[in-house]
Amino acid sequence: MIRYAALCHPGHNRVYFAESLRLSLAELEIASRSLAEPAAGAGIERIGGVEYLTFRRETPLSAREAEAIFRLSFPYALFRVEGDSLEPVERPAYEAFSEDIGGHLRYSGKTNERFTRLLLGLAIHSGAFAGAGRLSILDPLCGKGTTLFEAANLGHDAFGMELEPKLAEEAARFFKRFLESERMRHEADRLRVGAPELKKPISLDRFAYARDKAALKDAPARLTIACGDSAFADRAYKKESVHAIVGDLAYGVAHGNASGGGRSRAPSELLRACLPAWRRVLKPGGAIALSWNLYGAKREAVLGILAAAGFRPLTGGPYDALSHRVDQAIQRDAAVAVRD
């Protein structure tokens, strides 16, 4: 058996406190199921006084499999263990940007980018499109865009939905300035979409970008921020157009919806109102990963709402090991489900 050891990202422990390594183990187990050979015997080992996440395989990691692991939330460095020595596995250059876009984005209530990466990994590796190259990712509760920007940095097309005009506008301005600082070729426009059932049109700030002129013309990356009620996400985006959905329901106004004439922040009410539209936008075989505060809704209730909306919740093993304490007021959990 070949033994590997992953050194976790320096910011990882600050996000999940003492539970970070346990969550990393769950993430690794889920993600490795989409590899040619799943990780075996994953655990936490102390090597030279430092804790590593270790696992074993019968065959060496291919370059593509190593990249898939590096794209998860936790790896800062990856080593092949040879006796008493650690042989570094070369870190691939997969990021779309030269700067850490998540590190530039700072605001109160922001979901940490390490946790955002975890949700992205759960959704991508639980669906039918892991390893399929550039995917389309939707965050229907995008706030100021943390999930969109992390997905974009991983090389995916990113699409968001945000109820609050101020947050959507700030996210669009931030991304435009970031593209300029990266000296990316880009095009931007604003589109309005109306429908009889909408109280006001949905506005979409759309970006196409690439490193050079030819790529911008032939195969640009795309990021769109739509401002409107997430219960009408299928008016902003085409049906069956995204490969995965990622959303964090843990924080206040940014995650409200305006259906029924009022604004609801309760996770259960939000999901009942919005999941039908989210399902219509998701491709068959795609997965949805949602996080929320357990003090606002029990896990069984959220899984039941997902099932009632036509999703198949994934349970058992690592999928039941994602609950973790954020602070005294938040016990966060994550649920993953697939659209068959």
What dihedral angle (degrees, nearest 10) is formed by the CA atoms of 37, 40, 46, 52? Answer: 30
Q: Could you please report the per-residue DSSP string of 69-107?
A: HHTSSSEEEEEEEETTEEEEPPPP---SSSS-HHHH---
From first to last of the 340 residues of the chain, give the pLDDT tens digit.
Answer: 999 999 988 765 555 556 788 899 999 999 999 999 999 999 999 998 999 999 999 999 999 999 999 999 999 999 999 988 999 999 999 999 988 887 677 666 567 788 999 999 999 999 999 999 999 999 999 999 999 999 999 999 999 999 999 999 999 999 999 999 999 999 999 999 998 888 899 999 999 999 999 999 999 999 999 999 999 999 999 999 999 999 999 544 344 455 544 455 579 999 999 999 999 999 999 999 999 999 999 999 999 999 999 999 999 999 999 999 888 888 999 999 999 9
Report whether 157 contacts 136 (CB < 8 A). Answer: yes
Report whether 333 contacts 299 (CB < 8 A). Answer: yes
pLDDT at 21: 86
Show the 3-state SS of 252-295.
CHHHCECHHHCCECCHHHHHHHHHHHHHHHEEEEEEEEEEEECC
CA 235/CA 281 separation, integer angstroms: 9
pLDDT at 251: 47
Alpha-helical segments (H) within 72-211: 101-104, 113-126, 146-153, 165-181
Closest CA to 258 of 164, 139, 171: 164
CA 249/CA 253 separation, integer angstroms: 10
Tokens of 303: 């899984």
pLDDT at 195: 81
- Beta strand 136-139 with 242-248 is parallel
Q: What is the pTM of this model?
A: 0.93
**Which residues partner with 282 through β-bridges?**
242
Residues in the chain: 340
Report whether 227 contacts 165 (CB < 8 A). Answer: yes
Task: Please state the φ and ψ torsions of residue 29, each to the nearest 5 degrees.
Answer: -60, -45
